[in-house]
A and B are shown apart, each in its own frame.
Chain A
């Protein structure tokens, strides 16, 4: 039983990270019909930025976090939206999807070529002293990771449901044309969404870097899992992405423990296929009407 609880905590911990990246997928899809296949690299870039500001430049931790959030939101949010999305979105979803795949390769290999192919160390942010409760051992780092991710997701949910900007985002998500007619600046809203996504991935980066290390290719698996999570939970619901992320995290952890590590990824895919067959809109997703 203790082992199962241990594994559940580990699954929730990794699932919370998947959820944050998955929510980014949902946000972008909702407001701009964009699927960002560079989402994994959107986690990698702020992780490298944190190494730069905190480890290399030796800024205080809080200042390094602010600098990373700023860099992430401006570079991966505003810049990508203005330079890439604005030009390609009018051509349809597919060119933009291909462009984000290209962007992910560009980021990945630029970091490898111009920084390092080696895994970089990242100092722990929270205490790693093991805490034993019964037969279950966890560290402050795990607890704080889950707590931090929960706070960020809750804050995002409140922002979307309780602020005018959030309502405007929901309006754009529901009907871009009508939102525009009502006086909402859709382009500005999309830019804000991209910046929000970049901030989310930056927080995910800061949380996972101490454990998973900072390496140019850690985004590959992470981006893919987040994508699965978003589809499983529902690509048009934030709570769906949250559920999907946690589900993927927990299932893959249990699969690795009780079946084999070789099947870790397979189980996420099995759930994905099952959901697509039985409830294509995702567990908590809402059916979308497509008009030509």
Chain B
């Protein structure tokens, strides 16, 4: 009798566990990061990766999305476009729900068709206009494309700064070329021309030749449009040459990843920035604080982009009400997402038909090695409306 009771108990436990098991197991949604972990873009990729990981961790801590747990991993493109294509192919064999990366535009331009063919939505930190010109409805930018960012930047440069003699120093890759073309176009529309148009190379160390050209052109303002580390070197050398020209930029020049290595040389630089830790938005400041506590460094705009990207996906999935890639993709076009429904977005964001975004942005000046917000720039278009997706 005693033996029968014991077996009954054991059966009850086994059945109980068996029944609880499937009900308790969460669906796992894979969101791999494909980023520049090594190579020239390692600093950028590290910010993006850490922020995506942080967003995923926070969302999971609050129970995931629609009961599903998020799982992420990281794959390195070595900041090399062909490698990014190979890595993207490998990542997609795991059937993820969405892919986060790449950040360098030259890589994104190379690998975006792979994700589109697989029907896996891709969130990128890239900004090049070339990406949205390709008519890919599968890719979503987490910051302004250059047609939005540069429109705001040139308007500020011409109307607020009253810049007359402008030199442009840009990095000769997909990111720099896209920015260059937009600046030239928007300047032309305002009847302005550059006094010097100078291309540079990725990982360039010495900028004396470029600075000599800027000086010879008699420029009053120099637009510095390169990657963060090169921007920092450029600013150090600009100060050493004692040029009186005013350095201005779109985002990268005034980001923390430029300011930290550039130090005091970056003081005085003025920029239009989309995302910045010192923005007069409590949610932005709070993210900056949490990121710094977790990783021991101030987040730059790439970190913001990664964090917001995950929350853009979350907002769309919640609005769709299911993990349906096609519906989420459709929901993420021509739609406004607000911080009321998803605080992790940090700011209200409009995603247009090309997957590019519009939102508030800021004019900053670097003072005491910190970007200090001087002005908030409203959305370029609008007013935009929220659209249901169910």
Interface residues of A, Cβ cutoff 8 Å to B: 3, 6-7, 10, 14, 109, 112, 117-121, 123, 128, 130, 132, 137, 139, 141-142, 210-213, 215-218, 221, 253-254, 256-257, 260-262, 264
A124 to B96, CA, bound (A): 47
Q: Decide if B233 touches A212 in the complex (CB within 8 Å).
A: yes
The interface residues of chain A lying within 8 Å CB-to-CB of B240 are 128, 130, 139, 141-142, 211
Q: Decide if B206 touches A253 in the complex (CB within 8 Å).
A: yes
The interface residues of chain A lying within 8 Å CB-to-CB of B39 are 217
Q: List 7 A-B contacts (CB under 8 A).
A: A10-B208, A117-B37, A119-B229, A121-B262, A132-B242, A213-B229, A256-B206
Q: Decide if B172 touches A253 in the complex (CB within 8 Å).
A: no
Which residue of chain B has its CB nearest to the CB of A256? B209
Q: A117-B45, A121-B261 in contact; A261/B205 too (CB < 8 A)?
A: no
The residue from B199, B233, B241, B297 contacting A213, defined by CB atoms under 8 A apart? B233
Q: A118-B46, A212-B233, A257-B213 in contact; A218/B205 too (CB < 8 A)?
A: yes
- Chain A nearest CB from B257 CB (Å) reads 7
Q: Does B263 contact A (CB under 8 A)?
A: yes
Interface residues of B, Cβ cutoff 8 Å to A: 37-40, 42-43, 45-46, 172, 198-201, 203-206, 208-210, 212-213, 215-216, 228-229, 232-233, 236-237, 239-242, 257, 260-263, 297
15 new A-B pairs (CB below 8 Å) besides A117-B38, A137-B241? A112-B38, A117-B42, A119-B229, A119-B261, A120-B261, A130-B241, A139-B241, A212-B205, A213-B232, A213-B233, A217-B42, A217-B203, A221-B205, A261-B172, A262-B201
SS class, residues of chain A in contact with chain B? helix
The residue from B210, B241, B257 contacting A256, defined by CB atoms under 8 A apart? B210
The residue from B42, B199, B200, B208 contacting A7, defined by CB atoms under 8 A apart? B208
Q: Decide if A7 touches B209 in the complex (CB within 8 Å).
A: yes
Q: Decide if A137 touches B208 in the complex (CB within 8 Å).
A: no
A225 to B363, CA, bound (A): 40
Which residue of chain A has its CB nearest to the CB of B297? A118
The interface residues of chain B lying within 8 Å CB-to-CB of A3 are 212, 215-216
Q: Decide if B229 touches A257 in the complex (CB within 8 Å).
A: no
The interface residues of chain A lying within 8 Å CB-to-CB of B242 are 130, 132, 137
The residue from B38, B46, B232 contacting A109, defined by CB atoms under 8 A apart? B38
The interface residues of chain B lying within 8 Å CB-to-CB of A120 are 261
Which residue of chain B has its CB nearest to the CB of A122? B261
Q: A213-B233, A262-B172 in contact; A118/B257 too (CB < 8 A)?
A: yes
- Chain B nearest CB from A2 CB (Å) reads 9
Q: Rank and list the top 4 A-B pairs by shortest CB-CB distance, nearest first.
A: A130-B242, A117-B42, A257-B209, A10-B208
Counting chain B CB atoms within 10 Å of each CB, the highest count among A3, A7, A132, A254 belongs to A3
The interface residues of chain B lying within 8 Å CB-to-CB of A254 are 209
Q: Decide if B261 touches A118 in the complex (CB within 8 Å).
A: yes
A211 to B206, CA, bound (A): 8
- Chain A nearest CB from B183 CB (Å) reads 18
The residue from B199, B208, B233, B261 contacting A262, defined by CB atoms under 8 A apart? B199
The interface residues of chain A lying within 8 Å CB-to-CB of B215 are 3
A119 to B44, CA, bound (A): 11
Counting chain B CB atoms within 10 Å of each CB, the highest count among A10, A211, A261 belongs to A261
Q: A213-B229, A213-B261, A215-B229 in contact; A118/B43 too (CB < 8 A)?
A: yes
The interface residues of chain B lying within 8 Å CB-to-CB of A118 are 42-43, 46, 257, 260-261, 297
The interface residues of chain B lying within 8 Å CB-to-CB of A137 are 241-242
Which residue of chain A has its CB nearest to the CB of B258? A119
Which residue of chain B has its CB nearest to the CB of A139? B240
Q: A112-B38, A141-B240 in contact; A119/B43 too (CB < 8 A)?
A: yes
A218 to B213, CA, bound (A): 25
The residue from A7, A112, A123, A264 contacting B201, defined by CB atoms under 8 A apart? A264
A256 to B198, CA, bound (A): 10
A292 to B117, CA, bound (A): 59
- Chain A nearest CB from B122 CB (Å) reads 23
The interface residues of chain B lying within 8 Å CB-to-CB of A215 are 229
